[in-house]
Copies of this chain bind each other. A is one copy, B any other.
Amino acid sequence: MIMKKILTALFIIAIPPQLTAQQALGGGGQVVSPEIHDDKTVTFRLPAPEAGEVLLSGDWMPWEGFSPGTAAMKKDDDGVWTYTTSVMESDLYTYFFLVDSLRVNDPGNVHVVRDVASIFNMFIVEGGQGDFYKVQDVPHGTVAKRWYHSPGLDKERRITIYTPPGYENGSEQYPVLYLLHGMGGDEEAWISLGRTAQIMDNLIAQGKARPMIVVMPNGNVSQQAAPGESTRGLFQPTMQLSNTMDGMKEETFPDIIRFVEDNYRVKSNKEDRAIAGLSMGGFHSLHISRYHPDTFDYVGLFSPAVFPNENATSAVYEQFDGTLKRQNENGFELYWIAIGETDFLYNQVVNYRQKLDELGMPYEYVETAGGHTWKNWREYMTVFVPRLFK
């Protein structure tokens, strides 16, 4: 204590708490938003005294085509715009504001996720489905961003890999789920918007899923990595990329399997491999699994695109029925299809089920409410993953 007093006297040591800071102090603001009330209503607040109109757009609102609906916020006497929802079901939600038509994120909420070319704020209402997406007090797996070489594409490519709790300190060999994103997505989509790490940690901790490795590659064969993560530098992503559905992903997929089986303690058998994906990733999962018809015992098609574009010339798509038949003859454990009843790909799935019926290929079909949304894809994960490797 004496020495401390001397130091104080000598050096004037006091560090004002507001100063011992990292660079940036501003922006957090005093306003609490969103505020999740005990009754599971949620209040949003945005201080914008000069604005003429402020709308809240949330993915729980009725969708208009590919955009969530909006609700008008009301300005109080302090210039803070406010909106309170009705009681919300437990889930993960995303939202943004429109301030006189300008898209604005909530400065009161640092939790943001990117979906293709847009940044959304997010929050979780606990007490049900949303609990799968929350970090719980359970053992946690590791999430690694790695690079691998694809000989088939002659490219270094980035990949996201979840290894289950205990992987690093054990000797067990694990099964593998290959998990594919949709159009405009990349190797970050499933781990961020998809909450894969939280879902896996929680399902494993509850004994509902077997410990497994989840491999999330980039499905755009023309792309090395997510925006900002490749030599292309920082760029604004676009929905439509070349070569995404031209057969190259399907042809070169063994590069990814080889990388994983060479680099991780995994079981290299059909019965320990699953593949699943959403939308374009469902398309890829469908065609990869039939083009390599003795590779996966578990296939999950989440709101899948099914049929190749007319201009796709790859040999991969020439043998649709033949390879499906072979896949069927080779046998598998689970062929699982899920789609929302208002999804724009609904009819493709109707037609595909008819095709499978005609081929005598067994599958499970799950139809949910809603459309082509991450709400559905996250939920499908929580239903599909417990079915694997049992």
Contacts and interface: CB of A to CB of B under 8 A. Distances in A.
B13 A185 contact: no
B104 A104 contact: yes
A24, A115, A348: which has the most chain B beta carbons within 10 Å? Answer: A24
Contacts of A237: 28, 110
Interface string A113-141: 01111111011101000000011110110
Given A22-B116, A22-B181, A102 B105 contact: no
At the interface, is chain A mostly helix, strand, loop or mixed? Answer: loop
A3, A22, A52, A239: which has the most chain B beta carbons within 10 Å? Answer: A22
Contacts of A107: 102-103, 118-119
Contacts of A12: 347
A109 interface: yes
A307 B47 contact: no
B114 A279 contact: no
Given A118-B110, A144-B144, A317 B4 contact: yes
A207 interface: no
Contact of A189 (B22, B29, B238): B22
A21 B351 contact: no
A192 to B, nearest CB: 11
Given A7-B320, A22-B184, A142-B144, 17 more contacts: A3-B321, A7-B307, A11-B307, A13-B306, A19-B66, A19-B344, A20-B182, A20-B305, A21-B66, A24-B115, A28-B236, A49-B101, A103-B107, A104-B104, A110-B227, A123-B234, A144-B144
12 contacts: A13-B310, A20-B183, A22-B183, A27-B103, A28-B237, A47-B102, A102-B107, A111-B227, A122-B234, A134-B233, A135-B233, A142-B147
